Structure 1
Amino acid sequence: MTPFPAQDLGHGITCLDTLQERPGMACCYLLERGDDLAFVEAGTSPGVPRLLAELDARGLARERVRYVIVTHVHLDHAGGAGLLLSQLPQAKLVVHPRGARHLIDPSKLIAGATAVYGAEAMAAMYGEIVAAPTERVIAPGDGESLPFGNGELQFIDSPGHARHHFSVWDAESRGFFTGDTFGLSYRDFDDAAGPWLIPTTTPVQFEPEAWYQTLDRYLSYAPRRMYLTHYGEVDQVLLLAERLRAGIIRYVALARGLAQAPDRHQAIKAALRADLLADLAARGHRMPVAQVDALLATDLELNAQGLGVWLDNQKGSA
């Protein structure tokens, strides 16, 4: 696969394709401020050589990397964290307090992914999951900041997609690194109206009410841009936040409406597909349906699974 080219976003921020499944599906960000470097997101272990090669190609010493920051511990974001850390002698791994133990001892992450995908597919997608040394892990609390360059990076708890999720506020760019809590916006779907965006309800901690509060908190900072892991920088923040909120509301309604369906998972998946196709059609997209299906197959499957888990949790708490 040929990755999307590295993209200079200004403010010392470079977007790098981590080549997960296909080009343009997932990225990380290389930050350079003064003498300091940081990676936001680590991708998967098979993608780590690409990140290191970027440093080498630009003549950036690995010793300058101060932080490897992961927004949450889902393996497409954090699977390569331990391996990347092992190649960056001065770096600290920065992770949500709820997720730190899973990167220090990744056995539960490995077991969970292996149960879902099988050992062979797990190895192909994620490679070796390397443990992070405890003494090199930082778990900042909500609102805490860490020094970086001549400024700082602030970490805010941002549940809705996962409880072990934080977002990173960068005052210099007036942008948030949002992981998955500002949805998915693949560049393949950009058009004259701007980015297209959908929620990601991946198992197992989709919580719509918490997500609405996270969106409100984002907007309280008056951000000018959001840096998504899937994929890249987006602006039009107010408009996209409202579209994301509306999408979550629709997803909740369709899941509830199909809670008693005979084949609930397939019914939810079909309803999600119909929803996104209708949304694209309303924007005037002419992408062939087969191409849409190919680009979004993984996300449709995971979103349907996550909504199913959420429905089960609602029954358990009733």
Structure 2
Amino acid sequence: MDDTTTTITPLGGDVYEIDTRMAGYSGITAGYLILGDRPCLVEPGTSGSAPVVEAALRELGVGADDLATVVVTHIHLDHAGGVGDIARMYPRAEVVVHEKGARHLADPSRLMRSARMVYGDSLDTLFGELKPTDAARIRAVEETGTIDLGGGRRLESHHSPGHAKHHVGLMDSQTGDLYVGDAAGVYIPETADVRPATPPPDFDLDTTLASLGKFRALGPQRLLFAHYGPVTEVEDTLERSAEELRVWVDHVKDARDQGLDLDHAVAMVVERTRDRYAVSRPDVDPEIAAKYEVLSSAESNVAGIMHALDRHA
């Protein structure tokens, strides 16, 4: 498989899932192309994924001047790291992001410094460099916003903080698809597990649960996870997402009350939650669990919850 080999999955309704092959992994981060009068790319993925995404769009008949819009659910590098590259490849595309993230796409220097502190040398392998996007091409949305997909079809953005303060969910008026980003956690299609995604510094339990309630109230027909793929069991999945968040927060509270440091807290939480996930069973390929640990590690989740508990204390 070369660097730009594409995996495209038609999902119906002129929606195509693109495996962005983050850091060379398959089935870890998805972008989505909505084809129509005004083609729209949701979640371009990392900078390293940009050639893969460009090859997929070419295969789907979308040329350099054809892409109308690029939308990100939030500015974490696994979702938005490729925005600058994609903006250069598609010079007519408008870039849509929540207002709290817009300045970081125009000037990524502060975001990249923070990411470098967290990831060190592995940053380049995992994500690459987020390049600046001309501020004139960025449209910031607030509590709600609308993206014109052409033919009367639209994508409606809904501010959904909790995972990140600059997070939005995106609802397709025609299909009822809801692009959930990371607000509902990580879905593992191989085992149908739902795991939390609670990294520092923005995670907040009550805010996240409120966003999940907002998603439920929208009445989506299908959830489209960036990690990873479509889910039609909407109610059950959103409920499971909320339940897992509560379980992890309760266990981290226990660890904090016991005065455990981060390493010991992570070990305790992993041990207590292992049986909740089919991906942990001995008959499941351990590589599946390993690739999701790269993406959304137990250490990152526990650190984010610890940070939130300290903030409230």
Note whether the superposition's TM-score is higher than 0.5. Answer: yes
How far apart are residue 144 of structure 1 and its match? 2.1
Deviations 1:5-59 (A, max 9, x none): 21100111111111124211111101102x2111101211111001111122233
How far apart are residue 212 of structure 1 and its match? 1.3
Aligned residue for 2:187, secondary structure, equals coil
Aligned Cα root-mean-square deviation (Å):
2.0
Q: Is the 8 A contact 2:187 2:228 kept in 1?
A: yes
Q: Is the 8 A contact 1:261 1:267 kept in 2?
A: no
Q: Which residue of 2 aligns with 1:295?
A: 291
How far apart are residue 286 of structure 1 and its match? 4.7
Q: Decide which of 184, 204, 207 is 1:207's aligned counterpart.
A: 204
Q: Which residue of 2 aligns with 1:241?
A: 238
Aligned residues: 307
Would you say 1:64 and 2:66 are equivalent positions?
A: yes
Would you say 1:26 and 2:29 are equivalent positions?
A: yes
Structure 2: state its 5+ residue gaps: none
Q: Which residue of 2 aligns with 1:192?
A: none
Change (3 A) 1:268 1:296: farther
Residues 23-102 of structure 1: matches in 2 within 5 Å? 23-33=26-36, 35-102=37-104
Would you say 1:309 and 2:268 are equivalent positions?
A: no
Aligned residue for 2:48, secondary structure, equals helix
TM-score (norm 1): 0.90
Q: Which residue of 2 aligns with 1:184?
A: 186
Q: Distance in 2 between matches of 1:272 and 1:259?
A: 11
Change (3 A) 1:32 1:289: closer
Would you say 1:153 and 2:150 are equivalent positions?
A: no
More displaced 10-residue stretch of structure 1: 126-135 or 40-49: 126-135
Letter in structure 2 aligned against 1:135: A
Structure 1: state its 5+ residue gaps: 190-194
Change (3 A) 1:42 1:241: same
How far apart are residue 287 of structure 1 and its match? 3.1
Q: Distance in 1 between matches of 2:41 and 2:271?
A: 37
Letter in structure 1 aligned against 2:27: G
Q: Is the 8 A contact 2:6 2:52 kept in 1?
A: no
Identity rate, percent: 29
More displaced 10-residue stretch of structure 1: 291-300 or 148-157: 291-300
How far apart are residue 290 of structure 1 and its match? 4.4
How far apart are residue 172 of structure 1 and its match? 1.0
Aligned residue for 1:64, secondary structure, equals coil
